[in-house]
Amino acid sequence: MTVKVLVADDHAAVRAGIVLILDGVDDIEVVGEAGDGEQAVVMARRLRPDVVLMDVRMPRLDGISATRELAGVCDVLILTTFDIDEYVFGALRAGAAGFLLKNTDAEALVEAVRVVARGDGLISPGVTRRLIAAFAEQAPLRREAPAESAGDPAGLTPREREVLACIGRGLSNAEIARELDMAEATTKTHVSRVLNKLGLRSRVQAAIHYADHYSEGT
């Protein structure tokens, strides 16, 4: 399967470099380039790429606001120079499927696009540690008893709760499929249902939700 990508960055030279990297890969096709957030939203809605590589600081509409508008349209991978917590948390709350820094090498960038296109989340390693630490401080796990008898408050089925727990542990769709002994296509369906029932935009948000609302044993 060819992954269709839209590159959104207000610096033409940066866009050209990213496009050069991605166009050199057989299974990735760059279907468009946008120079600001508004253009990115318009083009993404028209072209329906699998992944939008989105800069944060752009004119007319910033990357985080553009990401929020593209919820349900396509997956967004934030690619930025700025390793700032405000941007990280803002992007993830807006529904970004991943957050990557521009100093990432070409091989890692290509793999990140593939990972997000598969429906998995991805966060730059250095950012991940700070993210985990921040949420550990702000929202310690609530030790809730399993809710099989009363029913899950979000309406999740037992299988969907298992899938959510796997997402909370950072497992990919393929790893969830192996652990729960089901087809990867079925896993993707369960992940989509979990996100819909919880009103979330990405599996990264689902992992945060799991840490906030479920104990490790549920």
Give me the amino acid identity at 112.
Answer: A
8 Å CB contact between 121 and 98: yes
For residues 186 and 19, what is the distance between their CA atoms, to the nearest angstrom? 33
What pLDDT score does 147 carry? Answer: 40
| C-alpha distances out from residue 73 to 3, 6, 25, Å | 15, 12, 24
For the question of whether the overall pTM of this predicted structure is more than 0.75, the answer is: no
Nearest partner of 56 among 48, 44, 64, 68, judged by Cα: 64
pLDDT (tens place) for every residue of the chain, 218 residues total: 899 999 999 999 999 999 999 999 999 999 999 999 999 999 999 999 999 999 999 999 999 999 999 988 899 999 988 767 677 778 888 888 888 888 889 999 999 999 899 887 777 766 655 565 555 455 444 434 334 434 456 688 989 989 988 887 778 788 888 999 999 889 888 988 888 888 887 777 787 777 777 644 44
pLDDT for the residue numbered 140: 45
Tell me what pLDDT residue 29 has.
Answer: 97
